[in-house]
Chain A
């Protein structure tokens, strides 16, 4: 048990250490990297990746995988944009509808996976085709959102702050350093951590990912929990699509291409086992931050090309996987699982 505890926190601590090291190295290499604006950027610019990664953490913890999230971002963003710009809906109504559809979409994939024992990989792959295809069916090209509610929505944190009678400096601080996208990401993260560690749903998810047969024998609601995990992820990816519209003021059916890969990579770097059952939502935050730091450092550098991000992320994923294996072997705590 102590060994298991060590193993889990060791990976989490390693991730945190790598994150910190990267930040310090990048900060000492590039002038202005330590500025608060850049730090906020890690959260604001990667908000949709982060939100999706939180949802993905639950699916992976339950022993599954979801490839449809990137496509769902594109679908969600273009549906919201079309409803707002062409059907005259209020943005809030459009977002709410999309969140509902997203959860429903996830739940139906979860049901297919659980009730017909289909492989999650294939079902969510079909989900990806479906969501991407529907996005193109709704509208083939990107649509700019010009609804006056959108700028107001983006200023929401500052409006709230002035409404709370914070001193002027406080309002300015919130307006400058707390963009709505980052706030939504942090909220989703907080809810995710709460769900994972303080609710029955979270505990069931860990149990199912650890050993589904045992979970069944213990009388846990395996089916319901799995469907809930996929529904949660569907909700998160639809929300990420809404955040994408907030971030770019547009909807785009091609948004989020290959994002599922980045989300899975962030979750793995965050120390969650892809076989399920072990990991932390907080680790996923670290994974997303590492992503953000590398990306921002490459932009700061200017001479490095963007493909170095992918190579660096791939390399980091490999290092972390090998580290996980090393911890498991030396501590001898992990059962060997057949792939």
Chain B
């Protein structure tokens, strides 16, 4: 992707302001027009309500978009996250349920959830590392390198499940998707924990700076002593790992691994969340929190549409309109055009 003029920042507001405004407007709209949107109920010491629901539902996209943010910050992209989710879900479900039609029935891990979790996450990270190797060692463009796994990955997941939907009954596994921790869905805890960990990792060490340097100018960063190959390999592996975790949550949520539909189109939602959050697709500066807000915004739109009784088929159309609106707001050219118009009208 080429560097464009949009990099210059004329309005000196932090980029995170735009998605925040959009989210605030949407919530304000719901406050006035959707009954009970802000209603939170305590039942059996657990919190229920639309707002909680939004975060719970958005958890997989948030996790994936965090990894995606770092990958995009290195001027890369990862299209394979949905496929990795499917693989992780298929692996864990297959190892635990061990249906006789699946190749995974040959592996006995004694029904241990921890082992299944570890294997699934390890394979996901390895899949990400594979993407990273193609990008760094072989110098393949990220969009192509990850396209390979995007095309093949769902096939591999179907191979693991023999094309069937593997259902399982396992308490600790299901807890990952529907459990409650401190009165809140456990997914929220996972998201917050990952956000804290990754946030500390990139902002309290030099790693974040290195990532931005690699994304901004790999040659210059190499001369400055950063190892772009190593940084890239790391972010792709981390992205794979997070996608795997999201895949496990998605599988736990429905207590089944559906190789066809798990994480379908999530790469698009995640990239969208990253872009809405103010990280440029050309790499360089990134905002983890922005991506989280972007993901929440996307989920809020969906929930708003559903709870307002708008026919479901309009969801996609509204989403398209929001995407274009947010992108236009971030486009330098569009802002100049609008300001020009305003000035002309004013004089």
Residues of A near any B CB (own CB < 8 A) = 63, 65, 67, 112, 115-119, 121-123, 125-130, 132-134, 136-137, 140, 212-213, 261, 264-265, 268, 274-275, 305-311, 313-315, 317-318, 321-322, 325, 336-339
Cβ < 8 Å to A, chain B residues 146-177: 147-156, 158-159, 162-163
Residues from chain A with a CB closer than 8 A to the CB of B152 are 310-311, 313-315, 318
Contact A125 B141 (CB under 8 A): no
Q: How far is the CB of B222 from chain A (nearest CB, A)?
A: 13
A-B contact pairs, 5 of them (CB 8 A): A122-B275, A125-B323, A126-B323, A307-B158, A321-B144
Given the interface contacts A116-B333, A133-B320, A322-B140, does A125 sit within 8 Å of B75 by beta carbon?
no
Contact with B163, one of A116, A307, A318 (Cβ below 8 angstroms): A307
Residue of B nearest to A109 (CB): B324
Cβ < 8 Å to A, chain B residues 126-147: 134-135, 138-145, 147
Residue of A nearest to B325 (CB): A126
Given the interface contacts A117-B5, A132-B316, A133-B319, does A313 sit within 8 Å of B324 by beta carbon?
no
Q: Is B328 an interface residue (CB 8 A)?
A: yes
Residues from chain A with a CB closer than 8 A to the CB of B327 are 116, 118-119, 122-123, 126
Residue of A nearest to B259 (CB): A307
Residues from chain B with a CB closer than 8 A to the CB of A116 are 327-328, 331, 333-334
Residue of A nearest to B4 (CB): A117
Q: Is B317 an interface residue (CB 8 A)?
A: yes
Residues from chain B with a CB closer than 8 A to the CB of A212 are 2
Residues from chain B with a CB closer than 8 A to the CB of A67 are 268
Q: How far is the CB of B89 from chain A (nearest CB, A)?
A: 15
**Complex CA–CA separation, A323 to B331 (angstroms):** 37
Contact B313 A310 (CB under 8 A): no
Residue of A nearest to B5 (CB): A117
**Complex CA–CA separation, A338 to B151 (angstroms):** 24
Residues from chain B with a CB closer than 8 A to the CB of A261 are 147, 150-151
Contact with B317, one of A118, A129, A264, A336 (Cβ below 8 angstroms): A129
Residue among B268, B316, B333 with most chain A CB within 10 A: B316
Q: Is B314 an interface residue (CB 8 A)?
A: yes
Contact with B316, one of A63, A136, A307, A309 (Cβ below 8 angstroms): A136
Contact B141 A274 (CB under 8 A): yes
Residues from chain A with a CB closer than 8 A to the CB of B324 are 112, 123, 126
**Complex CA–CA separation, A128 to B294 (angstroms):** 19
Q: How far is the CB of B229 from chain A (nearest CB, A)?
A: 13
Given the interface contacts A118-B328, A119-B1, does A130 sit within 8 Å of B334 by beta carbon?
no
Q: Is B94 an interface residue (CB 8 A)?
A: no
Residues from chain B with a CB closer than 8 A to the CB of A123 are 324, 327
Residue of B nearest to A314 (CB): B152
Contact B76 A125 (CB under 8 A): no
Residues from chain B with a CB closer than 8 A to the CB of A118 are 327-328, 331
Contact B323 A117 (CB under 8 A): no
Residues from chain A with a CB closer than 8 A to the CB of B138 are 321-322, 325
Q: Is B49 an interface residue (CB 8 A)?
A: no
Given the interface contacts A115-B333, A309-B155, A313-B152, does A140 sit within 8 Å of B316 by beta carbon?
no
